[in-house]
Amino acid sequence: EVQLVESGRGLVRPGGSLRLSCVASGFTFSKYAMVWVRQAPGKGLEWLSTMSGSGGSTYYAGSVRGRFTISRDDSRNTVYLQMNSLRVDDTATYFCAKDGGRGVDYWGRGILVTVSS
Amino acid sequence: DIQMTQSPSTLSASVGDRVTITCRASEDISRYLAWYQQKPGKAPKILIHKASTLESGVPSRFSGSDSGTEFTLTISSLQPDDFATYYCQQYNSYFWTFGQGTKVEMK
Residues of A in contact with B87 (CB under 8 A): 44-45
B45/A106 Cα distance (integer angstroms): 8
Cα A117 from chain centroid? Answer: 23
A79/A95 Cα distance (integer angstroms): 11
Q: What is the pLDDT of residue A9?
A: 87
CB A83, CB A33: distance < 8 Å: no
pLDDT in tens, B88-100: 999 998 999 999 9
CB A104, CB B46: distance < 8 Å: yes
Yes or no, beta carbons of B98 and A107 under 8 Å apart: no
- DSSP, residue by residue, A36-101: EEEE-TTS-EEEEEEE-TTS--EEE-TTTBTTEEEEEETTTTEEEEEE-S--GGG-EEEEEEEE-S
pLDDT, average across residues B67-81: 98
Q: What percentage of chain A exceeds 70 in pLDDT?
A: 100
Residue of A5, A45, A58 for testing the chain B interface, max B β-carbons within 10 Å = A45
Cα B19 from chain centroid? Answer: 11
A3/A35 Cα distance (integer angstroms): 14
Consecutive sets of 10 residues in chain A, 117 residues long: mean pLDDT of each? 95 97 98 98 98 91 97 96 98 98 96 97
- Nearest by CB to residue B98, choosing from A45, A62, A109, is A45
Q: What is the pLDDT of residue A56?
A: 83
pLDDT in tens, A70-97: 999 999 999 999 999 999 999 999 999 9
Q: Does B15 touch chain A (CB under 8 A)?
A: no
pLDDT at residue B16 greater than cutoff 80: yes
CB A102, CB A115: distance < 8 Å: no
